[in-house]
């Protein structure tokens, strides 16, 4: 009995020693994903090659003109068209996590300036338009799956959206007018984020959220997918696509539709 107990005791020591040796082995430690244990905060300025497709309501032109019977304009602007009038753009995303807790933010702001052309250009002349768009979301959540290959978290938070439109024009070359409208909208959202790490330096990440219907008839949602390459412990690059959509009450809206396009991102993590 004493001999059998001693053998079991020695066997436990051997097993423990092997485990400690493997855990401290350089080869094993190098195989760990740098995105799982070695950073807590990630900040990522990015550029969004965005395009607009939707409806602008109550544009700033004289309401007595016949072209405004519907009081709305359909737009479909590619990134090339947006870039031609782009005056300002700032975009950034970030996240912080501790153990299984995670919080993240994403903000994008764009200002477009340019001249406008209408079907009644001989009546309404010298049109100048300023269109501003700001959106942001702040969410927090919990990873209920988190290992070296997969992460899945449920998220909840708040999204805000701000549009403003300013304009000036001349009616028949004799009457000058100008105007301004703006719209700020906020709503709770919930969503999911998923990450798959097939290799040590590669991440495939998706995020989606939805909101609006929780407190009214509005609807907003977004979907983001990126491929992240971990250049070093402190630096990463990403390529992906973002699709963002909004549908609110026409009486309040300035813009209803989608904003979508490819994204390129430079990230710092520590």
Residue 36's pLDDT band (boundaries 50, 70, 90)?
Answer: very low
The separation between CA 99 and the C-alpha centre of its own chain, rounded to angstroms, equals: 23
Torsion 49-262-194-237 (CA) sign: negative
pLDDT of residue 235: 93
Return all residues near 263 (Cβ < 8 A) that are at least 6 apart.
46, 47, 48, 49, 224, 226, 238, 239, 240, 241, 242
pLDDT band for 261, please (50, 70, 90 cuts): very high
Of residues 255 and 73, which shows the higher confidence score? 255
Gap between the Cα atoms of 132 and 14, Å rounded? 67
**Model confidence over 139-172: pLDDT tens digits?**
999 999 999 899 999 999 999 888 888 776 655 5
Where is pLDDT greater, at 236 or 186? Answer: 236
Share of the chain above pLDDT 90, in %: 44
pLDDT in tens, 116-139: 544 444 344 556 677 888 999 999
Digit-coded pLDDT (tens) for 48-100: 999 999 988 765 554 444 444 556 778 898 999 888 888 889 999 999 999 89
Residue 24: pLDDT above 60? no
Using 50, 70 and 90 to split pLDDT, how confident is the model at 115? low
Instruction: Please report which confidence band the pLDDT of residue 218 belongs to, taking 50, 70 and 90 as the band edges.
Output: confident
pTM metric for this prediction: 0.77
Average pLDDT, the chain: 78
β-bridge partners, 101? 98, 142
Helix, coil or strand: residue 243: strand
Q: Name the most confidently modeled range: 31-40, 111-120, 176-185, 193-202.
A: 193-202
pLDDT value, residue 239 = 97
Q: Which residue in 143, 42, 133 sits closest to 96, CA to CA? A: 42
The two beta strands, 255-269 and 41-57, are antiparallel
Which runs of E-coded beta strand occur in the chain? 41-57, 72-77, 86-98, 101-116, 124-146, 150-171, 175-199, 202-211, 219-230, 235-247, 255-269
């Amino acid at each position: 009995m004493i001999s059998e107990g001693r053998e079991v005791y020695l066997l436990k020591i051997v097993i423990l020693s092997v485990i400690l040796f493997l855990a401290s082995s350089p080869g094993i430690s190098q195989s760990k994903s740098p995105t799982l244990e070695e950073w807590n905060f990630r900040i990522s300025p990015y550029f969004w090659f965005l395009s607009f497709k939707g409806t602008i309501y109550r544009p700033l032109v004289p309401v007595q003109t016949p072209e405004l019977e519907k009081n709305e304009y359909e737009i479909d602007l590619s990134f090339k068209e947006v870039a031609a009038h782009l005056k300002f753009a700032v975009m950034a995303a970030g996240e912080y996590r501790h153990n299984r807790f995670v919080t993240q933010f994403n903000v994008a702001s764009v200002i477009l300036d340019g001249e406008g052309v209408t079907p009644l250009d001989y009546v309404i002349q010298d049109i100048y338009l300023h269109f501003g768009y700001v959106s942001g979301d702040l969410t927090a959540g919990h990873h209920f799956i988190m290992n070296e290959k997969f992460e899945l978290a449920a998220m909840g938070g708040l999204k805000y959206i701000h549009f403003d439109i300013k304009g000036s024009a001349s009616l028949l070359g004799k009457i000058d007018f100008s105007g301004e409208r703006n719209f700020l909208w906020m709503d709770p959202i919930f969503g999911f984020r998923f990450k798959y790490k097939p290799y040590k330096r590669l991440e495939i990440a998706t995020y989606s959220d939805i909101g609006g219907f929780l407190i009214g008839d509005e609807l907003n949602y977004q979907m983001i997918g990126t491929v992240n390459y971990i250049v070093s412990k402190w630096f990463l690059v990403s390529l992906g696509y973002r699709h963002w959509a909004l549908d609110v009450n026409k009486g309040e809206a300035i813009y209803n539709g989608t904003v979508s396009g490819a994204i390129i991102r430079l990230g710092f993590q520590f």
